[in-house]
Amino acid sequence: MRFKPSKILITGGAGFIGSHLVDRLMMDGQNVTVLDNLSNGSLKNLQRWLENERFRFIKGDLKKPSDVEEAVKDIELVFHLAANPEVRVGETDPYIHFQENLAATFNLLEVMRKSPSAETFVFFSTSTVYGEVEILPTSEDYGPSIPISTYGASKLGCEALASSYAHTFGLRTLILRVANVVGSRANHGVIIDFINKLETDPKRLEILGDGTQKKSYLHIEDFTDATLHLTSRFLVDKKKADVYNVGSVDQIEVKKISEIVAEEMDLQHVKFVFTGGVDGGRGWLGDVKIMLLSIDKLMKTGWKPKYNSEQAVRLAVKAILKER
């Protein structure tokens, strides 16, 4: 799906999700710049584009304004993916989410505000901004949003900043609240955790929590399709800011994910051991046990996911195992 503007910046573009977005935009003939400090990403994910004249990679940090200024120069559209995605780290070092998510986003918005070319900001948020909800599926207008993790809080703060810049400075902002994305190139998350543990001990798999966690999973192909679909619509829209949930239409239990991983690794008689969890059976403090986003607003635009949660997980497991 090709759209204007054609000068695009992707922060965190060397990571799992960002690199797939780079692939799609480059295949569409766009001019793409990636800013990444390579703390979670890898140049291996971008290898096919490094010599392409339409592609530029900058190893830099959003916490350094000079790096951001270099990356944003002449850019019209920014996809902001760079963040610290580890929810669990907030329990021991909450400063990380403030610095790497909230402060970094503020630096980016400030540089964009002063740029003569930057017009549109696409921010990738998370389902965790809602916290523990009373209504499932959860729609965009659910409130109040009360995050239970510093990660969710930092992302909600970023949303508020981006919205304020849209209304105060005219920096048009599209916010996407995304479910758990899975697929090739992933380097963290429940699937990676299970594979690593089973490679160490093929007979026993420890699962954090009480086993009742149930969440929505979105395949990376559906994620990139939805992102480009919504961005193309937003670029011709008149709104200063808008927000969409992006996910699948169903959920899958963590126990089922463990079974899929074991099946795809051709392992039999695996003993699944649940830790019991913390704070009511959570896998960790800040873990939202049950999550299902309403994507009615998204589907009304004419888009729907190709894969359900179980299909997304199984495809992701196959792809990740093939890469190892």
Measured distance CA(85)–CA(322) in Å, rounded: 24
Task: Let me know if residue 159 belongs to a domain.
Answer: yes
Alpha carbon of residue 262 to chain centroid = 25
Of the candidates 196, 197, 218, which has an alpha carbon nearest to the alpha carbon of residue 206?
Answer: 197
pLDDT confidence of residue 246: 99
pLDDT confidence of residue 102: 97
Q: Are residues 77 and 171 in the same domain?
A: yes
Task: Let me know if residue 1 belongs to a domain.
Answer: no
Burial 60-89 (b: 16+ CB within 10 A, else e): bbbeeeebbeebbeebbbbbbbbbbbebeb
Look up the CATH number of the domain holding residue 262.
3.90.25.10
Task: Let me know if residue 38 belongs to a domain.
Answer: yes
Q: Are residues 102 and 230 in the same domain?
A: yes
10-residue mean pLDDT profile of the chain (324 residues): values are 79 99 97 98 98 98 97 98 90 92 98 98 98 98 97 98 99 99 97 98 96 95 98 95 99 97 98 92 91 99 99 99 97
Cα–Cα distances in angstroms (integers) from residue 121 to residues 13, 59, 111, 135, 256, in the given order: 15, 21, 12, 29, 37
- Tally the domains of the chain: 2
Q: Are residues 174 and 209 in the same domain?
A: no
Q: Structure tokens of 324?
A: 């190892």
Task: Give me the domain span that covers residue 225.
Answer: 7-181+217-246
Task: Let me know if residue 2 belongs to a domain.
Answer: no
Q: Are residues 26 and 36 in the same domain?
A: yes
Q: Are residues 91 and 128 in the same domain?
A: yes
Which residue numbers are catalytic? Answer: 151
DSSP H helical ranges for 236-308: 254-264, 296-299
Look up the CATH number of the domain holding residue 22.
3.40.50.720
Task: Let me know if residue 297 belongs to a domain.
Answer: no
pLDDT confidence of residue 5: 59
Q: Give the position of tokens 């890898």.
A: 42
Q: Are residues 48 and 145 in the same domain?
A: yes
Pairing of strands 271-274, 204-207: parallel
pLDDT confidence of residue 2: 61
Task: Let me know if residue 296 belongs to a domain.
Answer: no
Task: Let me know if residue 100 belongs to a domain.
Answer: yes
pLDDT confidence of residue 257: 98
Q: Are residues 77 and 187 in the same domain?
A: no
Q: Are residues 63 and 194 in the same domain?
A: no
DSSP 323: H
State the distance between the two ends of the chain, measured CA to CA, in whole angstroms.
31
Q: Are residues 240 and 190 in the same domain?
A: no
pLDDT confidence of residue 214: 96
Alpha carbon of residue 95 to chain centroid = 20
Backbone dihedral angles phi then psi of residue 8, each to the nearest 5 degrees: -125, 140
Q: Structure tokens of 32?
A: 């793409």
Q: Are residues 194 and 100 in the same domain?
A: no
Q: Are residues 147 and 195 in the same domain?
A: no
Q: Are residues 114 and 188 in the same domain?
A: no
Task: Let me know if residue 20 belongs to a domain.
Answer: yes
